[in-house]
A and B are shown apart, each in its own frame.
Chain A
Amino acid sequence: MSRALKSAFFRFFRTGLWIKIMIFSVVLGLFVIFQTCSSDLMLYMFKRPRFLSNSFVMTCILKLVYIMPFATAIFSAMFTGNDISFRTINNKISTGISRVYIYLADLIVTVLSSLFSLFIMTGIFFLFAKFVPVKSDVRISSFLLGIFSQVLVISLAFASLYTLLQFFLSTKLLALIVSLLMIPCLMFGTIFIQSQLDEPYRYSYVDEETGEVAWKENPDYVGGTARKIFTFISETSPYSYEFIVNENSFPQEAIAAGTIFALSSAAGLIAIGKKEYQ
Chain B
Amino acid sequence: MENVLSTRDLCKNYGKAHVLRNVTLEIPTGSIFGLVGRNGAGKTTLMRILTGLAEPTSGTYSLGGIKSSDRKILTVRRRMGSIIESPAIYKNLSAYDNLKLQYINLGMTSFDTINDLLDLVELNDTGKKKAGKFSLGMRQRLGIAVALCGNPDILILDEPINGLDPQGIIQMREILLRINHEKHTTILISSHILEELSKLATHYAFIEKGEILQTLSSSELMSKVRKASRLKVSSTELLCPVFDREEIDYKVEDDADMDIYSDITASRIISLANEAGVEVVSITENNESLEGYFMNLVAKKDGIS
- The residues of A with any CB-CB pair to B shorter than 8 Å are 2-3, 6-7, 10-11, 14-15, 82, 86-98, 274, 276-278
- In contact, A11 and B101 (Cβ under 8 angstroms): yes
Q: Which residues of B contact A (CB under 8 A)?
A: 48, 51-55, 73-78, 80-82, 84-86, 88-93, 97, 100-102, 104-107, 146, 150
Query: Chain B nearest CB: distance from A47 CB in Å?
Result: 46
Inter-chain contacts of B74 with A (CB < 8 A): 96-98
How distant is B294 from chain A, measured CB to nearest CB, in Å?
26
Q: Which of B78, B90, B91, B92 contacts A96 (CB 8 A)?
A: B78
- Pairwise interchain contact B51-A94, C-beta atoms closer than 8 A: yes
Considering the chains assembled together, what is the distance between the CA atoms of A18 and B231 in angstroms?
74
A-B contact count (CB 8 A): 83
Residues on A with C-beta less than 8 A from B88 are 86-91
**Knowing A3-B105, A7-B101, A278-B85 touch, does A94 contact B92 (C-beta < 8 A)?**
no
**CB-CB < 8 A to B82: which residues of A?**
90, 94
- Whole-angstrom CA separation of A4 from B23 in the bound complex: 33
Which chain A residue lies CB-closest to B72?
A: A96
Considering the chains assembled together, what is the distance between the CA atoms of A92 and B104 in angstroms? 10
Given A276-B48, A277-B53, A278-B85, answer yes or no on A10-B100 (Cβ-Cβ < 8 Å).
Answer: yes
Q: A7-B105, A95-B80, A96-B52 are in contact. List 20 more A-B contacts (CB 8 A).
A: A2-B107, A3-B106, A3-B107, A7-B101, A11-B90, A11-B93, A11-B101, A14-B93, A14-B97, A14-B101, A15-B93, A87-B88, A90-B82, A91-B102, A92-B105, A93-B52, A94-B52, A96-B73, A276-B54, A276-B55
Contact A15 B92, beta carbon cutoff 8 Å:
yes
Q: Which residues on A sit within 8 Å (CB–CB) of B80?
A: 94-95
Cβ B55 vs Cβ A96 within 8 A: no
- Are A7 and B89 in contact, CB atoms less than 8 angstroms apart? no
- What are the residues of chain B within 8 A of A93 when measuring CB–CB? 51-53
Are A95 and B106 neighbours in the complex by a CB distance under 8 Å?
yes
Question: Which of B78, B97, B100, B101 is packed against the most chain A CB atoms within 10 Å?
Answer: B101
- CB pair B91 A97 closer than 8 Å: no
Instruction: List residues of chain B with CB within 8 A of the CB of A89.
Output: 88
The residue of chain B having its C-beta at the shortest distance from the C-beta of A276 within the complex is B54
Chain A residues near B53: list those with CB within 8 A: 90, 93-94, 276-278
A–B Cβ pairs within 8 angstroms, 29 of them: A3-B104, A7-B101, A14-B101, A15-B90, A15-B93, A86-B88, A86-B91, A87-B88, A88-B89, A90-B53, A92-B105, A93-B51, A93-B52, A94-B51, A94-B77, A94-B80, A95-B77, A95-B78, A95-B102, A95-B106, A95-B150, A96-B76, A96-B77, A97-B74, A276-B53, A276-B54, A276-B55, A277-B53, A278-B84
> Which single member of A82, A92, A95, A277 contacts B92 (CB below 8 Å)?
A82
Q: Assuming A90-B51, A276-B53, is B105 touching A97 (CB within 8 A)? A: yes
Bound-state CA distance A210–B78 (Å) is 89
Cross-chain contact B51 with A88 (CB below 8 angstroms): no
| Chain A residues within an 8 Å CB radius of B48 | 276-278
Contacting A82 at CB < 8 Å: which of B52, B81, B90, B146?
B90
A94 / chain B contacts, CB cutoff of 8 Å: 51-53, 77, 80-82
CB-CB nearest 5 A-B residue pairs: A96-B77, A96-B74, A87-B88, A94-B51, A276-B54
Task: State A6–B103 Cα separation when bound (angstroms).
Answer: 11
B12 (CB) vs chain A CBs: closest residue: A276
